[in-house]
Structure 1
């Protein structure tokens, strides 16, 4: 893991030492950037929050953008399939 992400995780975990935990969005963003759950816990983020962030990230990954169905088929492809 690169040092910048480890530093960022530590800053998120300790920035307001005990006063305010990172938001779920911040945790998900850090996880998506490659910070490991273990690093977040080591930085002081409660394991429960890290687990919830992982579940949130998995749910977001399963949600497909609307209207992206058959974008690979251009107008020519649609016309060709209609003529069969």
Structure 2
């Protein structure tokens, strides 16, 4: 795993920011450390669901533009045709 730092701002509610701030203060770590650890734990705890979602998405893709648009939009091939379809 790379240790390079990339800055990607995320927005959380004021309530969540307060929780992060309190946790960081009482654990004597940075807010960044709290968020990074929380995300790692969340992904570890939901890994099976994430992998299942990826597998489902891959099975829906057949390499066509229509399948990609269908997956991203949530519209079936028939619904795409009803709204004008896609160029061949």
Q: TM-score, normalised by structure 1?
A: 0.29
* Higher share in helix: 2
Bigger relative CO (Cα 8 Å, ≥ 6 apart): 1
